[in-house]
A = this chain, B = another copy of it.
């Protein structure tokens, strides 16, 4: 606790994902007071044909 889910388009590198988990954990810990070892991060990737804004999928643009 806390549990953080980051949902984003696929395509980031492993290095970006590693840094994302590290930096988000620090940001959550510093602002909520929860110790870093209690912060959990989940990454969820979306493909462009499963994500639409204004009714239009990113794969159709």
Contact = CB atoms under 8 A, between A and B. Distances in A.
Contacts of A39: 53-55
Q: How many copies does the complex hold?
A: 6
Nearest to A9: B1
Contact of A43 (B8, B45, B50): B50
A5 B3 CA distance: 8
A28 B20 contact: yes
Contacts of A41: 51-53, 55
Contacts of A2: 6-8
B18 A37 contact: no
Contact of A6 (B4, B19, B33, B43): B4
Interface in A1-52: 1-9, 12, 14, 16-28, 30-34, 36-46, 49-52
